[in-house]
Amino acid sequence: MGKDLAERFPVARDTFQAIDQALGFGLSRLMFEGPEEELTATHNAQPAILAHSAAVFAVIAPRADGAAAAGHSLGEYSAYVTAGALTATDAATLVRRRGELMHQAGSERPGTMAAVLGLATAAVEAACREASVGGAVAVAANLNAPDQTVISGDPEAVARASAACKARGAKRVIPLKVSGAFHSSLMGPAANQLRVALERAPFRDPRFPVIANATAEPVRDANRARRLLADQLTTPVHWVACMQRAAELAGSDACFLEIGPGNVLAGLLKRTVPGANVVSLGSADEVTRFLEAA
């Protein structure tokens, strides 16, 4: 994960090393060599994904003029890095703490998540309301695409909501391997403690707007960024609305850049904003082709 970037681009290697130093351990070695089960633990996976995104951005920054940025869940921190509101090291420190707090909240009140495919968001939300009985919680947590929604909450409520979604015609309901009910009220204790860390973090006003997961509206000042990043843990990721807002801000002929591992967000964008021009930049080869074409 990211090893090819470090080998080909000195500025990417410097980014990984700076984040290692800020965190006080060899995150990059864990990214490059594993073991996978340690890397995928949420307190490691979150800073690793951010480090990968920050390394890509460090390489392309001279060729990438931003009109707006957005990031899915922890990716919102990377978006603030691209907008100059956070340094990569400060963002990595925050998401490391975020991962620890989310894992702790999940240990204290175990929760789960499931992806619902092929069913409109409104129908998923109705199923969640029906399933939230007896104090158990099920909510639509990630509104990823018009026909893809992730539900989150107590295991028994998520199971009831999953069955209700299938009964309403969902093509598939896929349980997710997660350590908690992210983006639900079960993350309340984590959000309260994260708010303290965010208040202490050295934010600056972003150079261009960052579209918040919690509101799908552009954020232009540091204090609002802090508040919404804390709120994000207990509120849905309004990704469909975020992408629609980004398209409005950037213009119909804009080029969207997905930075970091994988190309999931590119696929979601194309399903939300038909005809969108999007380039995924995760590997050294992808970054090299982008630089040569820019």
Which residues are identified as catalytic?
A: 73, 183
**Could you give the C-alpha distances from 89 to 137, 169, 214, in angstroms and in order?**
35, 45, 24
| DSSP conformation class of 111 | -
Give the separation between CA 59 and CA 33, rounded to whole angstroms.
Answer: 22
Give the separation between CA 110 and CA 258, rounded to whole angstroms.
Answer: 32
Exposure on the CB side of residue 223, measured as CA atoms within 13 A: 0
Give the separation between CA 184 and CA 292, rounded to whole angstroms.
Answer: 43
Q: Which of 126, 82, 74, 122 is nearest to 99 (CA)?
A: 74
Dihedral sign, Cα of residue 234, residue 96, residue 74, residue 150 = negative
